[in-house]
Structure 1
Amino acid sequence: MERWKINLAVLWIGQFLVMGGMTMIIPFLPLYLQELGLKDPDEITLWAGIIFAGNFVTSFLFQPLWGKLADKYGRKMMLLRSGFGMAAVMATMGLAMVPWHLLVLRLINGTISGFNPAAVSLMAASTPKEHRGFVMGILQSGSVAGTIFGPLLGGLVANEVGYRPIFYITGALIFAASLLAMALVKEDFQRKTEAQEAPLSVFGGWQELKRIPQLPALFTVTVLLQFSMLSSMPLVPLFVQELSHDPSNIALYAGLVGSMSGFSNLFASPLLGRISDRLGAEKVLVLSLIGAVLCFIPQAFVTTVWQLMAARFLLGVCMGGMLPSINALIGKYTPKGMDSRAYSFNTSALSLGNMIGPVGGGLLAGFMGIRGIFIVSAVLLVLNVLWVRSTLLKKSTPHHASSK
């Protein structure tokens, strides 16, 4: 088997284990806070939000630093640094005694995270150009699969063994993913040559990358995309409650609605990635954004849970063509020797969208209701389409086309 295919298989498993492990805690985080001594529901909600967001705050700040070090010392080294570091931090969360212990550990976890951008950067550098879109789609499917099954497994296991052991299991899963990558992933990285290609500071790297107009455009697309997708997500259970005529099954329906887009995304990502290798990632990105607009608008007018499920399923198909196309385009336009920094800046953009999306959605819902959020998301995606058309859908030569 070709080396890039072996790397892809191993990193798919790694993405699945890391994302599955990271999301296993979601179903019971408020309950764990009760075990740590919190009693007031409002206090629990506040702490849960802060702790959940803490990971994204430090990830947003520190990803560019790890990207610089990956370009200097190798993507595999950063992959292992992140994997083994997160394994230790996640296991330590099971020893927390008070809520602020958990918050500090989440902040540390965000600081040292970076498995995903390192995996994407490594695959972008080692994959033949004609297969890059397909590979980005496969990686995305591994991440999505972990995100779907992680909360499910976390809820099932927590019922059997309690809350604290979940953190030890999560740490073990991430540790296993890191061991697998250490043993089987190979990277053709010439340290002396690569370090001399772009020996810039984090700020200097940003100054260099922003000279290529397509890259800031792609980072902007990522922020708007994540904001659009996540602004309505925390409100979906309340919307399901409004639509449902069967109060006894609201939790089940909310879970189904929440997972619909993930399931369709899982299968659509590799397919749309392969299509992007033939048609071009720019076209697939635009078509996926337009499709997402057409899926968001009906959600504002649905009258049954089943209609909402159908719209969310189709939305997931469109989502399958977005982030993989963005990652493929970043690899296309990034100068040689700066791949990891470019992907790390995009991960910072992803974290920024993850932070402000749910908060912004909650604030906007107070003025226009849950249905209005779907219209706002559609408008933001229309702006994304116009932005992509003006910045990417024009004749341009990749900055380093001759070197990759």
Structure 2
Amino acid sequence: MTNWKVNLIVLWVGQFLVMAGMTMIVPFLPLYLQELGLHEEHEVATWAGLIFAGNFVTSFLFQPLWGGLADRYGRKVMLLRSGFGMAVVMALMGFAGTAWHLLLLRMLNGTIAGFMPAAVALMSANTPRERMGFAMGTLQSGAVAGSILGPFFGGLMAEWIGFRPIFFVTGALLFAASLLATFLVKETFDAKRASQKPKQSMMAAFAELRKSPQLPSIYAVTFLIQFSLLSVQPLLPLFVQKLHGQDAMVAFYAGLVGSITGFSNMIASPLLGRLSDRIGPERILIVCLVGSAIASVPQAMVHNVWQLFASRFFLGIFLGGLLPTVNALIRKHTPTGMESRSYSFNSSALSLGNMLGPVVGGAVSGLITIQQIFLISGALLLVNAFWAHKSLISTPNLPRSGSSE
């Protein structure tokens, strides 16, 4: 088996374990805040949005730094730095005593985060271009598979063992993923050649990447995708609580609703990735953006948990084609040797969307209903589709500066 296929299998497992660990806390975060002493609904929603976004504030700031170091010293080193560091920080969250403790630890986690961007950059630099769509889609399915089981088991364990022990389980999963990558991932990286390249500041690197006009547009698309989708994320457990009622099973149902989108996403990602290798990732991205916009509408019309369950499954099918095609497009338009830096800027755009989406969603929850937020999310995705068509299909594909191919 060739190295890129071995890496794909190992990093798929790694992505699965990381996402399972990271998403275990999602279904019960607002409920955990209630246990920490917050009870007013809007206050809980606001804090949940801030804590959920806190990770992405520092991630937005530090990802370009880690990306530059990865291009100079190797992607695997950054992969392990992030994995082992997050394992420690997540375990510490189990000792939090106030909402402020959780917020500060989430911000620290974002500072050292980067397992997933490093995994994507490593795969992109070590995978044949003609298999890029398949590799990105398959890698995404590993992350999504973890996001399926994470909320599901997080909801179950919240009922069985309480909230705090789940953070220790999360730390153990992150440590296991990092250990697996330590021994099995192989990277083709010319450290001598990389060290001979002149050092670039973040602004100089971005100026170099801007010579490919599609890249800034792709980063903007990534931001809008995450902003529109994540604006409802911290409110979902409260919406499930409203639909189902307050009882002992609400955490379980919140986990179930959170996991079903990932299930259909996991099925669709490799299939859409393979299709993008045949007809082009640009077309898959636009179709999936329009489909996601349409799929957002039924969520605003549900009257019970099972209707929400079905509508989120439908949404997940189209979500499966978004980030994998974005990652394939970044590799397509990035100069050789700048892969990690390019992905790090995209990761910053993703983190910015992850940060602002929940904060804005939580902040406006006292002014408009979550049903209205679903409709606004759909409108943003539709605008995103028009933007992607204009910037990725209508814009000429100029030669990539600095590429050796």
**Residue correspondence of structure 1 range 271-290 to structure 2 within 5 A:** 271-290=271-290
Closer/same/farther in 2, CA of residues 101 and 73 from structure 1, 3 Å limit: same
Distance 1:398 1:293, change over 3 A: farther
Letter in 2 for 1:299: Q
Asked whether 1:318 is paired with 2:318, we answer yes
Render the CA deviation track for 1:242-295: whole Å, top value 9, x for unaligned.
666999976665544333321100110011000001111011101111111221
Aligned to 1:39: 37
CA distance in 2, matches of 1:24, 1:267: 21
Alignment of 1:201-350 (within 5 A): 201-237=201-237, 239=239, 254-302=254-302, 305-350=305-350
The alpha-carbon deviation at position 167 of structure 1 amounts to 2.6
**Partners of 2:73 and 2:191 within 8 A in 1:** yes
Paired position in structure 1 for 2:404? 403
**8 Å contact kept, 2:93–2:167:** yes
Letter in 2 for 1:258: G
Gaps of 5+ in 2: none
SS at match of 1:211: coil
Q: Percent identity?
A: 61
SS at match of 2:181: helix
CA distance in structure 2 between the aligned counterparts of 1:269 and 1:7, rounded to whole angstroms: 18
**Distance in 1 between the 2:102 and 2:302 partners?**
39
Verify: 1:66 aligned to 2:70, yes or no.
Answer: no
2:151 paired with 1:151:
yes
Distance 1:299 1:249, change over 3 A: same
Aligned twin of 1:122: 122
The aligned length equals: 402
* C-alpha distance in 1 between matches for 2:60 and 2:403: 32
Cα displacement string for residues 162-183 of structure 1 (whole angstroms, at most 9, x for unaligned residues): 4443333222211111111111
Pair 1:98–1:236, CA change in 2 (3 A): closer
Deviations 1:296-339 (A, max 9, x none): 23434455654443332221111100100000000110111111
Contact map agreement 1:12 1:139 (CA 8 A) in 2:
yes
SS in structure 2 opposite 1:392?
A: helix
Letter matched to residue 227 of structure 1: F
User: Secondary structure at the residue paired with 1:94?
Assistant: helix
> Contact 1:24 / 1:150 at 8 angstroms: preserved in 2?
yes
Supply the RMSD in Å over aligned alpha carbons.
2.7
Give CA-to-partner distance per residue, 1:37-83, whole Å, 9 cap, x none. x4342466655443332211111111110000001100001001111
User: Structure 1, residues 227-248: CA drift from partner, whole Å, max 9, x if none?
Assistant: 1112233344555566669999
Letter in 1 for 2:370: I
Tell me if 1:9 matches 2:9.
yes
Quote the Cα distance in structure 1 between the aligned partners of 2:228 and 2:209. 25
8 Å CA contact 1:197–1:336 kept in 2: the answer is: no
- Residues 141, 267 of structure 1: 8 Å contact kept: yes
* Alignment TM-score, normalising by the size of structure 2: 0.90
Match of 2:172 in 1: 172
Q: Which residue of 1 aligns with 2:386?
A: 386
Higher mean displacement: 302-311 or 183-192:
302-311
Q: Which amino acid aligns with 2:139?
A: L
The alignment partner of 2:76 has SS state of helix
The 1:238–1:23 alpha-carbon spacing in structure 2 relative to 1, beyond 3 Å, is closer
Asked if 2 retains the 8 angstrom alpha-carbon contact of 1:232 and 1:358, the reply is yes
Equivalence for 1:375: 375
Q: Report the TM-score, using the length of structure 1 for normalisation.
A: 0.90
- SS of equivalent residue, structure 1 residue 41: coil
